[in-house]
Structure 1
Amino acid sequence: MRTVQLLTKAYENAKVIRIDDKSKYIIFSDCHRGNGSMNDEFSRNENTYLYALRYYFNKGYTYIEAGDGDELWEHKFGHIKKAHAGVFSRIRKFHEEGRFILIYGNHNIFLRKEKYVRKNYDTFYDHYDEAEYSLLKGVKPEEALVLKVPETEQEIFIVHGHQGDLLNDQLWPFAMFSLKYFWRFFHSFGIRNPASPVKNVHKQHKIEKNYKKWIDEKKTMLICGHTHRVKYPKPEELPYFNTGCCVYPRRVTGIEIAEGNILLIQWRMVPDEEGIMRVKRKVLRGPEPFGNFDIR
């Protein structure tokens, strides 16, 4: 029940944004941007992710990064900035237009501290030009977000989803230590920490069961990440959605909220008839009006 309590606390303190049928949001989570080394799982999907961000920027979407965007358990943020300068340049464009919302997860839990955010995210020092540039100046990371439809009072609760996951929440310093100094060296060989929910099916089901308890109790739609397992509910199921992640082999998944509808989407590189690799967007589930998932 700890998950239910902590999700409720996050919900009660969440930033609230009013939306309508013209609102457009893309939600990605679990990018786990690293330092560009062999164990940086994000690097293999970086071009796909960049193409997707350009698409959403040009289409007028607001980008919600729902936790674990940067892999701060394993790497210093300065190294991440240098490795993925193009990504942060794209995100900065969203931020400058007021179209970027940053939610922290367990792997970037340091973003709870304003001092850390100001020191690392406000500016970027370019060693080649020997000059300092604005990065995400003034960004205010949130634990959770509520999108509210004024006409119907329906709410869409967005959070990373680690709340109440004992090892990744209350005991996160221990989990970070074991990952940073042991398990991360096995990433290159596809071996994951068995305590992680990503490859532990039993742990995934336990976490998701707790999500559903919260939804059933609060009668509120939930969108999260954390488990890396995509989820778009069937009509008879509780409205639990999961974005998946940006570190699947050769694909990126996310949730779109656009013009009153919600969709589960996938971006991946596929060859065309001439054998040229192109980035394609595919709708996996939906679109369905998010009003269909109102269970109050």
Structure 2
Amino acid sequence: MFTDRRLTGAFKKAKIEYFDENSKYIFFSDCHRGDDSMSDEFARNQIVFLRALEYYNNNKYTYVEVGDGDELWEYPDFKVIRLAHSDVFLGLKKFYDDKRMRIIYGNHNIYLKNKSYVKHNYFNYYDEYNQNKQELFRDILIHEAMVLKNKKTKQEIFVVHGHQGDLMNDQLWPISMFMLRYFWRYLHVVGFQNPASPAKNLYKRHKIERTYKKWIRKHKRMLICGHTHRPRFPKNGELPYYNTGCSIHTKGITGIEIIDGKILMVDWRIRADEKGGLEIVRTVMRGPEPIEKYNLRNYPY
């Protein structure tokens, strides 16, 4: 019940953005960008992520980061993350400068709720090479959630990280942050898993996903989220629950796209071609399915 209240509260305060059949979106989440050390799980996929950014920027997609982009629990000094992944932030800046970037905060970057923190860390940065201040994401607005609303049909898609109502990652997040920063951060390098994380705890993951589906059934909205790190795309007859997966899989990254009025799940990874050369490949894993298929008027919730 508390999860329902938290998700509903986020829905009511969400940024509303209108879309149509010409709109293009890519949803990534749970990048957990760190300091490029052994504990930085994003580092192994940085090149894959950069290629994906290049593809989506060239094709004029709007980039939506559905929470936990930067691993601020482990590295509260954003400068460390920016320096470690400077190419990624330069790639993201292209979207931002073209007004095609939306950032939603999750539990691991919940600091972004604080406007002063965002202004101090994300608006500008000091370029140590040129020894001057440069703009990064000046005047950026960070949201807890967003609602995509179809211009014609008024159909709504709720986009949120998904930690809302998850006790250890919502109400008690300072405790989880402390344990991760000073304990689990080092243990998971040698194979130990954090039981408080839905990404590492199968029972917890399934429990959270059940609460998402209860919310969908009650409020009759499509839902796109992250948090669990498990990519999800509904089969025929299932509730319209989509999960972006994450960008720290050992084999690549997953995301959700919207294009031509359709929704699909994609996978980006390094593959070998016929001659044994390596290339970064985008693969459609599920879909595309018409978004209208999941409209309240047509879909048997």
TM-score range, shorter chain: over 0.9
Partner of 1:18: 18
Partner of 2:41: 41
Task: For 2:31 and 2:191, locate their aligned partners in 1 and report how far apart those are by CA, in whole Å.
Answer: 17
Amino acid paired to 1:28: F
Matched, 1:187 2:188: yes
Partner of 1:268: 269
Partner of 2:65: 65
Secondary structure, aligned partner of 2:142? coil
Alignment of 1:1-296 (within 5 A): 1-75=1-75, 76-296=77-297
RMSD: 0.8
Query: Normalised by the size of structure 1, how large is the TM-score?
Result: 0.99
Task: For 2:83 and 2:277, locate their aligned partners in 1 and report how far apart those are by CA, in whole Å.
Answer: 29
Structure 1 residue 124 displacement after superposition: 1.5
Gap regions ≥5 residues in structure 1: none
Task: For 2:193 and 2:67, locate their aligned partners in 1 and report how far apart those are by CA, in whole Å.
Answer: 19
Task: For 2:117 and 2:260, locate their aligned partners in 1 and report how far apart those are by CA, in whole Å.
Answer: 36
Query: Normalised by the size of structure 2, how large is the TM-score?
Result: 0.97
Task: For 1:103 and 1:27, locate their aligned partners in 2 and report how far apart those are by CA, in whole Å.
Answer: 11
CA contact (8 A) 1:4 1:164 kept: yes
Task: For 1:64 and 1:179, locate their aligned partners in 2 and report how far apart those are by CA, in whole Å.
Answer: 26
Q: Structure 1, residues 54-95: CA drift from partner, whole Å, max 9, x if none?
A: 000000100000000000000121100000000000000100
Gap regions ≥5 residues in structure 2: none
CA contact (8 A) 1:44 1:250 kept: no
Q: Structure 1, residues 155-214: CA drift from partner, whole Å, max 9, x if none?
A: 000000000000000000000000000000023223221111012111011101100111
Task: For 2:156 and 2:219, locate their aligned partners in 1 and report how far apart those are by CA, in whole Å.
Answer: 11
Secondary structure, aligned partner of 2:53? helix
Structure 1 residue 35 displacement after superposition: 0.5
Amino acid paired to 1:261: K
Amino acid paired to 1:160: H
Secondary structure, aligned partner of 1:264? strand
Task: For 1:202 and 1:130, locate their aligned partners in 2 and report how far apart those are by CA, in whole Å.
Answer: 50
Amino acid paired to 2:97: E
Secondary structure, aligned partner of 2:245? coil
Task: For 1:233 and 1:294, locate their aligned partners in 2 and report how far apart those are by CA, in whole Å.
Answer: 14
Secondary structure, aligned partner of 1:182? helix
Task: For 1:143 and 1:235, locate their aligned partners in 2 and report how far apart those are by CA, in whole Å.
Answer: 30
CA contact (8 A) 1:101 1:141 kept: yes
